[in-house]
Amino acid sequence: MAGMIEQPHAILRARLPGRVRGGPGPSQRRLGAFVRRHKLAPYLLLTPALIGIALVLLWPLVQVIIFSFQNYSLMQITGAAPTQWIGLANFTSTFRDSEFWLSLRNTVMLAVVVVPATLIVGTVVGLLLNRLGKKMAAFVSTAALMAWATPPISAAVLFYWLVNPDGGVVDWALSKLPHWLVGSNNWAQYNWTTTGAFQAYAVIAVLVVWQAFPFIAVSVLAGLKTIPGELVEAARVDGASSWRVFWRITYPLLKPIFLVLLLLSVIWDFNIFGQSYIITGFPGNQNEYNLSLYLYDKAFASLPPSYGLGGAIALIFALILLVITVGYVRTSVRQGALT
C-alpha cells in the first residue's frame, strides 16, 4: 500500500517546477507544525469566507429579526427616544394593512403565471435547440443568450419604452391590429404602467419570461444531451409521437433538473425588485407594489421610515422563501450535492 502511494510521488516530484522546492524558514515551519497538529488548515482557509458571510449576510439577518420586535426608527437611532420591545405589534399591524395583502397577491400572482410560462417556453426552446441544425441552433441560442445577458434594469427601462403610450412600438402595433383580435381599447394611447396592477404585471411577466427562459432552455438542453439517443430512437421506431416521447422518456429522466429549475424560478420570481421598481414607477402606484416594493416603501420611502415595520415584513418575506428554500436544499441533498 505504502509503495503504491510512494511511487507516484517520486514521479510527480521529478516533474514539479523547481521553485516549489524552496524550503520555508524556521518560524514558518513551527507555525506549520502547529496548524498540522491541531488540524487547523481547513478552518484557516474558511476564515475569510466565514467573516464575509457572517458580517454581510448572517448578522444583518439577526438584526432584522431583532428590529421586527422593536419600535426601531430614526428617533431611536439619534437617541431622541428609547428603543422599546413591542412584541408582535409590527406583525399585527402588517397583517392588518390591506396594502400588505395586495402586494402579497401581486407577488403570488406574478409567480403563478411566470414560473410555468418560463418553464414551458424554456423547455420548448431547449427541445427545439436539440433538434435544429447546427447553424440555426447557434443563431437561436445566441439570441437567447443576448436576452439573458441584458442587465435587468436595462431590460426594464427598455420594456417601459416598448409599451410607452407616447411612441411605444407595442402600443402602435396593437392599434394597427384588427379590433376583433385585440379588443376595442384605444391602444395607441394605452398606458400599461399606470392603468392598474394587472396591466403593469402583464408587462413585468413578459419581461421576466424574456430574460429567464434562456437559462431554462440551456439547462434543459444540457440535460437532453445526457439522454442516450437510442432510447428516443427506439421509441420513435415503435411509433411513439414526440409528445409521448417527451412525457414517457425525456421528462422522467430530466425530472431532477426540472425540480431544481422549478424551485429556482419560484425563488427568483418572488425576489423580483428592480424590474417592478422601474415598470411600476416606484413609489408612484401603491396598488402595484409587490412584497419587495412594499417592504422597501415601509423601510425607506415612508415618513418617518420604520425599520421595525420593515424588519417584520422582511421576516415574513424571508420565511415564505425559507419554505421554498428548504425544498430546494432537500432536493439538492437528495441528489447527492453534499458528497
Partner 1 sequence: MMTPSTHIAPSPAAVAVAGRRGAEGVAGAGRARATRRARWAGLNAFGLVIALLTLFPLFWMISTAFKPSPEIYSLTPSLVPAHPTLGNFSAVVSGQVSGIGSVWLFFRNSLAVTLATVLVASLVSLLASVAVARYRFRLRASFLVMLLIVQMIPAQALIIALFLDFERLNLLQNLLGLIIVYAAQALPVSIWMLRNFVATIPKELEEAAAIDGATGFRIFWRILFPLVAPGLVATSIFAFITAYNEFIVALTFLGQAHSDYTLPIYVTYFFGRGGAQWGPIMAASTMYTVPVIIFFLFVRRRLVGGLTAGAVKG
DSSP state of 150: S
Among 38, 96, 166, 237, binds partner 1 (CB under 8 A): 166
The string of DSSP codes covering 63-95 is: HHHHHTTB--BHHHHHTSS---B-TTHHHHHHH
Q: Taking contact as CB under 8 A, which single stretch among the options 93-101, 156-164, 179-187, 194-202 is the one that binds partner 1?
A: 156-164
Shortest distance in whole angstroms from residue 131 CB to partner 1: 6
Q: Does 328 bind partner 1 (CB under 8 A)?
A: yes
DSSP state, residue 200 = H
Give, in order, the Cα–Cα distances in Å from 149 to each of 137, 179, 214. Answer: 18, 36, 9
Minimal distance, residue 172 CB to partner 1, in Å: 6
Cβ neighbours of residue 129 closer than 8 Å, sequence gap 6 or more: 137, 140, 141, 217, 221
End-to-end distance of the chain based on CA atoms, in angstroms? 25
**Do 272 and 204 touch, CB atoms closer than 8 A?**
yes
4 contributes a contact to partner 1 by CB under 8 A:
no
Taking the least distance from each CB to partner 1, the nearer of 197 and 299 is: 299
Which member of 30, 34, 61, 255 binds partner 1 (CB under 8 A)?
Answer: 61
Beta bridge partners of residue 85, listed in sequence order:
70
State which residue, 133 or 178, has the beta carbon closest to partner 1: 133
From residue 146, how far is each of 143, 149, 223, 226 by CA, in Å? 5, 5, 21, 25
Size of the site for partner 1 (CB under 8 A): 113
Which of 86, 89, 140, 202 touches partner 1 (CB under 8 A)? 140
The verdict on 59 binding partner 1 (CB under 8 A) reads yes
Tell me phi and psi for residue 53, to 5 degrees: -65, -40
Q: Please, which residues bridge with residue 70 across strands?
A: 85
- Count of all residues that appear for the chain in the document: 339
Site for partner 1 in 228-257 (CB under 8 A): 257
Binding to partner 1 by CB under 8 A, coded x per residue (else -) over 191-220, reads: -------------------x---xx--xx-
SS3 254: helix
Site string for partner 1, 286-305 (x = CB under 8 A): -----xx--xx--xx-----
Rule CB under 8 A: say whether 185 interacts with partner 1. Answer: no
DSSP 227: S
Query: Whose Cβ is closer to partner 1: residue 223's or residue 245's?
Result: 223
| Subset of residues 120 to 139 that bind partner 1, contact rule: CB under 8 A | 125, 128, 131-133, 136-137, 139
**Residue 41 engages partner 1 in binding (rule: CB under 8 A):** yes
**Which among 32-40, 105-113, 191-199, 227-235 is the span making contact with partner 1, rule CB under 8 A?**
32-40
Dig out the grid coordinates for 13 from the structure: 516530484
